[in-house]
Amino acid sequence: MEIVASALQSAASLFPDERRPYSRARQTVIDENPALQERELHKLAGLATALAAALRSRGVDELAATLAAESGTTVFGIAFTQWIREGEERSLADISATVLRELLTLTATARKGWRRPG
């Protein structure tokens, strides 16, 4: 997940605050067009696939790489949605870090209550 956190921070650098109005307008167009929504989902799936491949190339096993990549892509999507909200002033990097921390907190909490079968 450290690699995913680093990837999220790198991705956030591609979205400086001065691009936020453009990103809001772009998202409005996407939200109004089902074909563009599908294309956006396809792009995110491709991102997850590429991230999983990068993790596997660093020696992460298949299951962990897939879970980390899919989780990282979900974190990015949630953070981006928050970043483009009217009135939002935090950077995408800050929002991504907050969303990732929440995911890690949720998984740590779930792990405490989880009992392995057997």
Q: What 3-state DSSP class applies to 116?
A: coil
pLDDT bucket at 117, cuts 50 / 70 / 90: low
The span from the CA of 69 to the CA of 103, in Å, is 13
Mean pLDDT of 19-35: 97
Which residue reads 């890690």 in tokens? 104
Architecture of domain 2-111: Orthogonal Bundle (1.10)
List the structure tokens of 49. 């696939």
Contact assessment for residue 96 and residue 12, using Cβ atoms and an 8 Å cutoff: yes
Note the pLDDT tens digit of each residue in 58-115. 999 999 999 999 999 999 999 999 999 999 999 999 999 999 999 999 988 877 766 7
Cite the beta strand spans of 1-118 per DSSP E. none
pTM to 2 decimal places? 0.88
